[in-house]
Amino acid sequence: MFKSKPFFITITNKYTKQFTKEFLIDSESIDNAIQKTIAIGGIDPLNFDIKVEEASMSQAQGWLEEKFPNGDFKHLVVDEENGVYELIYNPMGNIY
């Protein structure tokens, strides 16, 4: 599934410090993961802080396999070809 390394990306509003989104990115490097997040995720780096953590293949795979009790996956495929996935939360706790 992952061609390179998986990275967890957390996006936080610079001004309110509130968590906004979380992504899983397949990338060659941290810098490339940030660039993919900005380009494909539509994130404005002037308004949001981008935190990057390298993940293990097993962590990333487990994250993509997680499902809600109703059977829906806990992620959205943003761009499968480029390995960009967005974590979604249960609507009861969804901050969007």
pLDDT at 94: 44
What is the reported pLDDT for 90? 52
Characterise 17 by phi-psi region: left (phi > 0), alpha (psi -120 to 50), beta (else).
left
Q: Round to whole Å and give the CA distance between 6 and 32.
A: 11
Q: Supply the pLDDT for residue 95.
A: 44
Q: Consecutive 10-residue runs of the chain (96 residues): their mean pLDDT?
A: 90 88 94 93 90 94 90 91 85 46
Give the integer Cα–Cα distance in Å for 42 and 51: 15
pLDDT for the residue 96: 42
Estimate to the nearest angstrom the gap between the alpha carbon of 69 and the chain centroid. Answer: 21
